[in-house]
Structure 1
């Protein structure tokens, strides 16, 4: 519970307790706090046992820590039992490869693994050669205007 309290913080708490309660009352206060904490733990344990007994024998392995969403997700997704096949999905998804393909498509380069993009480009070229109206390539950057030339005015954008 107090895993991150260092020696200096503990010493500060002791000095503060001596100043607030005094050296005569401090042992009684420590006993009262200890007794209260023990009673709270006993109450909590008995409540957990009551809930487990009411749930029935199929929930005998139920842990209340699993009700914490982070713990539940970590236990379900990161455990060795992989009923949903999530491990295969995690291993098959290569983010670097996907990002490289997107970057290549945006920059107009053709990557070796993007055969779908190459087929679409070939179909577009064939449609242009056949005399059909080709769709503009939205992934290519438009030509940059000269340095002294103003960009076109868009009345809707202002």
Structure 2
């Protein structure tokens, strides 16, 4: 957790006891209430955003705005692409485009896409 070891965690607990003393349970309770309030505020803001976007974005998730999640969802999870028997993607120019794990034989030409240049 945050790259904190057991010894460091014990030292933080002792330090908290020294600083707050007998008021530590009250401080921990206040911190818990503040955390719940922050979570509730974030959930309310998310609900307001989804409501404001309208019914077209009812399945919108705020995590979709993360670039890694966006790329994984829209580029790497392509379920509509037909695959051939070797696991490669069908192509108009070639009868079979190489799958990423296939290696070219010595002297074999790589696939060429005329629209990419």
TM-score tier (shorter): 0.5 to 0.7
TM-score (norm 1): 0.50
List aligned pairs for 1:35-114, cutoff 5 A.
Answer: 35-82=33-80, 88=89, 91-93=98-100, 96-97=103-104, 111=107, 113-114=108-109
Q: What is aligned with 1:18?
A: 17
Q: What is aligned with 2:114?
A: none
Q: Distance between the aligned counterparts of 2:77 and 2:70, measured in 1? A: 11
Structure 1: gaps spanning 5 or more residues: 102-110, 115-158
Query: After superposition, what is the alpha-carbon deviation per residue over 1:129-156, rounded to whole angstroms, capped at 9, x for unaligned?
Result: xxxxxxxxxxxxxxxxxxxxxxxxxxxx
Greater radius of gyration (CA)? 1
Task: Return the structure number with greater helix share.
Answer: 1
Two-structure CA RMSD over aligned residues (Å): 3.2
Q: Distance between the aligned counterparts of 1:9 and 1:91, measured in 2? A: 52
Q: What is aligned with 2:112?
A: none
Change (3 A) 1:88 1:30: same
Query: After superposition, what is the alpha-carbon deviation per residue over 1:37-76, rounded to whole angstroms, capped at 9, x for unaligned?
Result: 1111111111111111111111110000111101111122
**Count of paired positions:** 99
Q: Distance between the aligned counterparts of 1:35 and 1:56, measured in 2? A: 32
Q: Distance between the aligned counterparts of 1:8 and 1:78, measured in 2? A: 42
Q: Distance between the aligned counterparts of 2:103 and 2:7, measured in 1? A: 46
